[in-house]
Chain A
Amino acid sequence: MVVKSVLSLSGAITTIAIVLIVLFLFKEGFGLFGSPTIEKGYALFVNASNEVKTLNAEQVKQIFDEQITSWKDVGGKDDEIMLFRFEEIFNLYSDEELGENYSLLPDKLAEVITENPNIVAFLPNKYSPTASQVKKLEDKNIASSDFFFGREWIPTATPSPLFGMLPLILGTLLVSLVAVMIALPIGLGVAIYLSELANEKVRKVLKSVVELLAGIPSVVYGFFGLVVLVPIVQSVFGLSVGETAFTASLILAIMALPTIISVAEDALRNTPLVMREASLALGATKWQTIYKVVVPYSKSGILAAAVLGIGRAVGETMAVLMVSGNAAAIPHSLFEPVRTIPATIAAELGEAPSGGTHYQALFMLGCILFVITTLVSISAEIISKKQHTTKGL
């Protein structure tokens, strides 16, 4: 009685914890769309004579990278853009001149903006200058289309970070799908050998080797990939860089093998003896029995193995972080560096200020990863259930 209540209590606590974690994830993630495109607490100021009213994130970035140098390109007059970052005020005035607790700072900033009609100044709201000659540029919130269809991920760009997740999700899917395409034939081969051909002794040894493969920490795989696989891929394919999507797929394929092998093997072994015997009695050879009877019978189990393999690959972090080159660009081929969602979260969360826009964007990525893996597990569940309902060929 007591045991029963303890068990149901622990079940309830676990469920509540999981629900809370998911809620937390989505709450933090969706905060992103309430955040301004300019870094929180800051705004852009121009001289009042400037015709430009607002700039989008892309334009802001290009202006501050000096790729756009004339106001004409963003809808203003044909004048050169003068950049002014907040820190520069401390080169113009000493701390004493700025008064106690920087009380004179807004006035000094207003002076600078008034004097320079071509200026764009990136300043904290706290010291926002107020003068007739100073105009604050309107700032919009980050749009969901900028996030879901944005093609650039530069989270630390100042003043206006770019959070486009397209390169990340494409990178993740590319790497995972190719990994499963490599791992499935190999895994299926091993599974068939283990369940149909190997004798008990060999089976035991091989099975434990496969399990050992699952027990190796992923950072070890990553290191192996970086030191061994990267130079091999580089020289075999004659590439300038060895850290590519393909390298990551290879490592992930090795890491997904144990999952694929054990699920597929279970499915193969579940083929009833009656069916094998019937096949053999009809004069089929052992090989014919395997590929005409056993494999088709366990089709859905094998499909489930593939799907679970994808799930394993999508969520892998450390190994991919080390071998994929982590370049946030949309991949055009298998032999380019890519950046995946888990690697991005792992690499960037440490320094993202808690509650900031970057932090929220990373949580939003987490939400997407959660949705992907949930879909993967649900489809694996549905597929493997099918096996038990549709008996026969």
Chain B
Amino acid sequence: MKKSILIAVTLLTLAMGADAQRIKGSDTSLPLSQKEAEEYMKANTGKTVSVTGGGSGVGISALLAGTTDIAQSSRKIKFDEKQKLQEAGKTANEVIIAYDALAVVVNPANKVVNLTREQLEGIFTGKITNWKQVGGDDLAIVPYSRETSSGTYEFFKEHVMKNKNYKSGIMSMPATGAIIQSVSQTKGAIGYVGLAYLNNSVKAVKVSYNKGKTYTEPSVANAKNKTYPIVRPLYYYYESKSKSKVQSFIDYILSDKGQQIVTEVGFITIK
């Protein structure tokens, strides 16, 4: 039964001449989209899905220019971007394909285990400069940020720092791997990375969003039951006109098989 539906869908889309789909945007979603596309193409011979990165902003401007069918984004579409799409006579549909949690990491030798949102804000805006101010040793804090082109940078700024600017002269690293490397070898360091990147060379701190009443450890389980606060959705945006073209791929990602891949790649499933 499933197979025959699949064949029917395949034939239908083939008949409409829409068998090549282009996905562009966020580098965070890139490994997920690639894996999904690979498996999808294995299951549906004759279909091609091409996935490229470049950043969330790049994906959405490509959607505007019509050079991609789906824009993948690690942040919600901005108001201006929505306006520009509207002016061009396009309407964007939004689908959440998975969630990603951000973990705040410190050097394993650091004895601080809990931090509140307010403390994190203070650290990254430069108001708190020594670990002893948040219950640690007398050691200068060295905050590491991502580069401005990263969706993670924007998300952390909006979500954790409540739109305040990072302190001027903050260290910014070109990749998540570089943050892990630097935090692991710098005693006073603090940084943020996607949950999937956590390993033993750094220590993730527990975070509180209610002024220190409860602290939650970053983990897939806590992100799923919504007790861990720093979680962001990963979006797909597509034009309403091309719905028929992209629907089967999006359905695949939202299916059990697709969501299993979400877990494998290290993100959090939508259910």
B-contacting residues of A (Cβ < 8 Å)? 41, 61, 64-66, 85-87, 101, 124, 126, 152-158, 162, 167, 226-227, 230-231, 234, 240-243, 321-322, 325-329, 337, 339, 347-354
A158-B163 contact in complex given A326-B172, A351-B55, C-beta closer than 8 Å: yes
Given B157, B168, B171, which contacts A337 in the complex, CB threshold below 8 Å? B171
- The tally of CB-CB contacts under 8 A between chains A and B is 102
Residues of A within 8 A of B154 (CB): 156
Contact with A along B142-181 (1 / 0, CB 8 A): 1000011110011001000001111011111110001001
Q: What are 7 A-B contacts with C-beta separation under 8 Å?
A: A64-B165, A87-B79, A156-B154, A234-B186, A241-B186, A327-B172, A351-B55
B164, A243: Cβ atoms closer than 8 Å: no
> Complex Cα distance A240/B190, Å?
12
Residues of A within 8 A of B210 (CB): none
B67 within 8 A of A: no
Give the shortest distance, in Å, between B78 (CB) and chain A (any CB): 9
B149, A347: Cβ atoms closer than 8 Å: yes
Residues of A within 8 A of B169 (CB): 167, 327-329, 337
Give the shortest distance, in Å, between A283 (CB) and chain B (any CB): 57
A234, B148: Cβ atoms closer than 8 Å: no
A-contacting residues of B (Cβ < 8 Å)? 54-58, 61, 79-80, 83, 86, 125, 139-140, 142, 147-150, 153-154, 157, 163-166, 168-174, 178, 181-182, 185-189
> Complex Cα distance A158/B163, Å?
8
Give the shortest distance, in Å, between B93 (CB) and chain A (any CB): 16
B57, A325: Cβ atoms closer than 8 Å: no
A347, B187: Cβ atoms closer than 8 Å: no
Closest 7 CB pairs of A and B: A329-B169, A351-B149, A350-B149, A347-B147, A327-B169, A325-B171, A326-B172
> Complex Cα distance A49/B186, Å?
52
> Complex Cα distance A347/B140, Å?
27
A347, B172: Cβ atoms closer than 8 Å: yes
A226, B182: Cβ atoms closer than 8 Å: yes
A124-B80 contact in complex given A158-B163, A234-B185, A351-B57, C-beta closer than 8 Å: yes
From DSSP, what is the main secondary structure of chain B's interface residues?
mixed
Given B57, B185, B188, which contacts A231 in the complex, CB threshold below 8 Å? B185
Given A85, A154, A351, which contacts B168 in the complex, CB threshold below 8 Å? A154
* Nearest CB in chain A to that of B172: its residue: A326
> Complex Cα distance A152/B170, Å?
11
> Complex Cα distance A322/B173, Å?
7
* Nearest CB in chain B to that of A66: its residue: B164
A61, B165: Cβ atoms closer than 8 Å: yes
Give the shortest distance, in Å, between B174 (CB) and chain A (any CB): 5
B165, A154: Cβ atoms closer than 8 Å: yes
A124, B149: Cβ atoms closer than 8 Å: no
A347-B83 contact in complex given A154-B168, A234-B186, C-beta closer than 8 Å: no
Residues of A within 8 A of B56 (CB): 351
* Nearest CB in chain B to that of A337: its residue: B171
B163, A348: Cβ atoms closer than 8 Å: no
Residues of A within 8 A of B173 (CB): 326
* Nearest CB in chain B to that of A318: its residue: B174
A350-B174 contact in complex given A234-B185, A329-B168, C-beta closer than 8 Å: no
> Complex Cα distance A234/B172, Å?
18
A240, B142: Cβ atoms closer than 8 Å: yes
Residues of A within 8 A of B153 (CB): 156
Give the shortest distance, in Å, between B149 (CB) and chain A (any CB): 4
B174, A347: Cβ atoms closer than 8 Å: yes
Residues of B within 8 A of A153 (CB): 168
Given A167, A242, A321, which contacts B185 in the complex, CB threshold below 8 Å? A242
Given A234, A325, A350, which contacts B54 in the complex, CB threshold below 8 Å? A350
Given A61, A66, A240, A326, which contacts B147 in the complex, CB threshold below 8 Å? A326
* Nearest CB in chain A to that of B187: its residue: A240
> Complex Cα distance A329/B61, Å?
32
Residues of A within 8 A of B168 (CB): 152-154, 162, 328-329
A230, B147: Cβ atoms closer than 8 Å: no
Give the shortest distance, in Å, between B117 (CB) and chain A (any CB): 15
B142, A241: Cβ atoms closer than 8 Å: yes
